[in-house]
Structure 1
Amino acid sequence: MTHSVAILGASGYTGAELVRLIATHPGLKVRALSADRKAGMTMAEVFPHLRHIDLPPLQTIDELDFAGIDICFCALPHATSQAVISELPDTLKIVDLSADFRLRDPADYEKWYGKPHAAPALQKEAVYGLTEFYREEIRAARLVAGTGCNAATGQFSLIPPIRAGVIGLDDIVIDMKCGVSGAGRSLKENLLHAELSEGWYAYGTGGGHRHLGEFDQEFSKAAGRPVEVQFTPHLIPGNRGIFAASYVSGEPRAVHAALAEAYADEPFIEVLPLGAIPQTKHVRGSNFVHIGVVAERAAGRTTIFAVIDNLTKGSSGQAIQNANLMLGHDETAGLMLAPLYP
């Protein structure tokens, strides 16, 4: 069965990635596309690399006809999805790629995003979209909240050893390097080539990064008690990819065994042999996650490395993986593309 898809915010990077992946999907067909400033244009004009795909024109959201649409991907800016999704038909299944529905507690949303949530009833309804940990809830969901790309990478590294009780919970440090596409397509001075190239820098430091809200929520749930981690992301002069190094106390073989057991049957997650270190190039353009575990020279200290493509497994690929479950397709449909290399 083929399901009809609408993509809101199709002129951004995650919107383009959704189109690229759905083009090879056996059970999804793009029927409606929205943009704001680029309404009236074609996707071929906005993204020439997609000109070979037969696609509807870009329209404003108000112009879209949702009759016959089965699922809607909202690739809109943060704080925009709340109002838009509130006005969508109740019969429509929705995967939101923004941050608007990731935090279950309205007080947590206000804490991390600086204003009250505009749709608290929908916030309570939303299922957190990290597929490997919420598979059954996602199958039954109407609204799924896609995770932050940084948050997903850290959770893939740490939730299994937290659940297994093989790492300390009070001294976790996550050091993350992030490609610039994670900042979106909007024009920003700090993202200009001359500003960003030939260097990198930390941002969201001192406990101020919004993805810490997701870490607090999910790590505390996994541990059964409050967990707060130290997290520093860095913006690097690369287009795609996230490289996370998580420094923990725990016996390396036990940490590796917990990860290997947790992901033994997961189609998109590869746990490398003990001591092997993953590279972002080995997952570029794919829905795969590579995880490595390394013993440090100090006894009982371990580093967990994880890499993803922020636009695919960190966003649009994850969204399609969730949609597959929501619509009854094979979970891997449209997502088994090999990574781009070199």
Structure 2
Amino acid sequence: MMTINVAIIGGTGYTGVELIRLLSQHPHACIRYLTSRSEVGRAVSQIFPSLLGVCDVVYSDMTDEVMDEIGQNCQIVFFATPHGVAMKYTPALIARGVKVIDLGADFRLQNLDEFKQYYALDHTCADVLAGAVYGLAEIHRERIKTAQVIANPGCYPTTAILGLKPVIETQNHANKPLILKNIIIDAKSGVSGAGRNAKMNLLFSELSDNFSAYGVTSHRHTPEICQGVHDFLGSKFAHKIRFVPHLVPMIRGMFSTIHLTLTEEGQAMDWQAVFEKSYQNEPFVDVLPKGSLPDTRSVRASNRLKIAIHQDDDTLTILVVQDNLVKGASGQAVQNMNILCGFDETCGLSTEFGGCAVVP
């Protein structure tokens, strides 16, 4: 099978380094270029010693000349950059026939007004955005196969949308509502989800022995979750979604708890069976046996998302865990690359813990 050349734009952040780890062990991918504004001229193994002997590519600056060279020599370009960077360079790349997978938010939200509201940016290539595919394989696998631009989903939306998918799809085929109006998503993430930049609230002395909520009414992932539920899953009911994220004192991992109030029709459903059937053929979604409880350690450094369902009279609770840097970011990006290139979807991701994690 063919080998493809890839570039990672922004290869020193947590998601960029996870991409390096995963792609370095991928049998059909060759990392040709890594870019970094701050580490130009240094080999990746000098900065991340755990990659010594795994990847020794030298970082380049993200100049127009380098980007032009990347466009000539690579088939896939990953952007692991701050919001606004990918949309600047993507039009020229796809004009050359390069496929783009953006781990940022530039191509996630189809509503331009919402994008500007939540990211304080005007979108500069709305035509490219209109053709971008939201890269949640469990929903858009067929569209991903022919995409030019893939918007890698956010970490929180991955847990929320996949947690709700069997419920919304079942409800869409029901004659009466199965759940009442409110959907409550109570989510927790490790600190790596906030990025690698130094911030006061992320210092060890501030974060340790602490637990806090943030973005309660205005988190950037709220419209992405709503888009997934209403547009991608095609919910026929106007559910109000309350999403509350929290920061917990651990490095990596994500745990989302979704609470639904059921109607009488919803209470009569066997939701354990519904979830098992919905995900029975998905390689990276595990529905745990009835009565089980997931934990973040069980998915550490893997591309697996685990779901448990607990039904009690009129309340349905869905528990979802993943590694925010893998299934919530870089692993999902590799999964999208595999689908896009016609590789086995699990290629480079099938090992439960995917090799040694770079980020502790």
TM-score w.r.t. structure 1 length? 0.95
Paired positions, count = 339
**1:212 aligned to which of 219, 222, 227:** 222
Alignment of structure 1 residues 222-233 onto 2, 5 Å: 222=233, 223-233=235-245
Q: What residue number does 2:247 align with?
A: 235
1:197-252: per-residue Cα shift (whole Å, max 9, x none)? Answer: 111100001x2111011111111122134433111010011111000110112338
Alignment of structure 1 residues 11-90 onto 2, 5 Å: 11-62=12-63, 63-64=65-66, 65-66=69-70, 67-90=72-95
| Distance (whole Å) between structure 1 residues aligned to residue 334 and residue 268 of structure 2 | 34
| Distance (whole Å) between structure 2 residues aligned to residue 52 and residue 147 of structure 1 | 31
| Distance (whole Å) between structure 1 residues aligned to residue 200 and residue 324 of structure 2 | 21
Unpaired runs of at least 5, structure 1: none
RMSD of aligned Cα (Å): 1.8
Cα distance, 1:215–1:173 mapped onto 2, change above 3 Å: same
| Distance (whole Å) between structure 2 residues aligned to residue 225 and residue 302 of structure 1 | 17
| Distance (whole Å) between structure 2 residues aligned to residue 226 and residue 110 of structure 1 | 24
| Distance (whole Å) between structure 2 residues aligned to residue 87 and residue 186 of structure 1 | 29
1:237-294: per-residue Cα shift (whole Å, max 9, x none)? Answer: 1111000110112338532222111100001111011221111110000000110011
Q: What residue number does 1:245 align with?
A: 257
Query: Residue 304 of structure 1: CA displacement?
Result: 0.4
| Distance (whole Å) between structure 2 residues aligned to residue 169 and residue 81 of structure 1 | 39
1:167-218: per-residue Cα shift (whole Å, max 9, x none)? Answer: 415111000010100111111111111110111100001x211101111111
Q: Which amino acid aligns with 1:246?
A: I
Query: Residue 56 of structure 1: CA displacement?
Result: 2.0
| Distance (whole Å) between structure 2 residues aligned to residue 249 and residue 32 of structure 1 | 49
Query: Residue 89 of structure 1: CA displacement?
Result: 4.8
Q: What residue number does 1:303 align with?
A: 317
Unpaired runs of at least 5, structure 2: 172-176
| Distance (whole Å) between structure 1 residues aligned to residue 226 and residue 148 of structure 2 | 25
| Distance (whole Å) between structure 2 residues aligned to residue 78 and residue 138 of structure 1 | 22
The ranges of structure 1 where at least 4 consecutive aligned residues each deviate by more than 4 angstroms after the TM superposition are none
Q: Percent identity?
A: 38
**2:347 aligned to which of 314, 333, 342:** 333
Contact persistence 1:162–1:169 (CA under 8 A): no
Contact persistence 1:181–1:239 (CA under 8 A): yes
Alignment of structure 1 residues 17-166 onto 2, 5 Å: 17-62=18-63, 63-64=65-66, 65-66=69-70, 67-90=72-95, 91-165=97-171
Contact persistence 2:271–2:311 (CA under 8 A): no
SS of the residue corresponding to residue 11 of structure 2 reads coil
Q: Does 1:175 align with 2:176?
A: no
Q: Which amino acid aligns with 1:271?
A: V
TM-score w.r.t. structure 2 length? 0.90
Contact persistence 1:149–1:310 (CA under 8 A): yes
